[in-house]
Amino acid sequence: MHNLYDVSIPPMIRALTSMKAFLEKGRAYAEAQGWDEAELTQARLADDMHPLTAQVQRASDSAKFLAVRVGGVESVAMADEEASFADLAARIDRTIDFLKAAPRDGFDGKEETEVVLKTPRGDVPFRGADYVFNFALPNFYFHVTTAYAILRMKGVPVGKLDFLGAR
């Protein structure tokens, strides 16, 4: 049986690596079109949704907080100040490095451990496994998918294999 590390950290690292690559395609596309990067980095799917930069930041936060809340890793601050594709790539690199440093054994036996998500509406308690499978992973992939969809909507030539990443 795989522990919570196996089902979360390696897949998140893979998805973040894929996201970095498809963002690079977005940067190259903007350059080829003669666009300012903000044409893409500030794009959003709908007026009430966050722009591309925030989608990357939230994916990063989802991954980081899973390692903190379940794996017991000490959190690191990552200010949400990214504006360019280079900034976003650096944020992804910092997140991947953070995840790679998370010890696998820190996740051992955490399936039943209480994880409390603090929100403006109040605390939301989870069992460790429920937090991973029913909140952290879906939330993470929502933001990765939304970042991908923003680029597709703007005409960036990315496809499913870009989202899935190299094998």
Name the class of domain 4-164.
Answer: mainly alpha
Question: Along the chain (167 residues), what's the average pLDDT of each consecutive run of 10 residues?
Answer: 90 97 98 97 97 98 97 94 97 98 95 93 95 97 98 96 83
- pTM, to two decimals: 0.95
Q: Phi first, then psi: give them for residue 82, nearest 5 degrees.
A: -70, 135
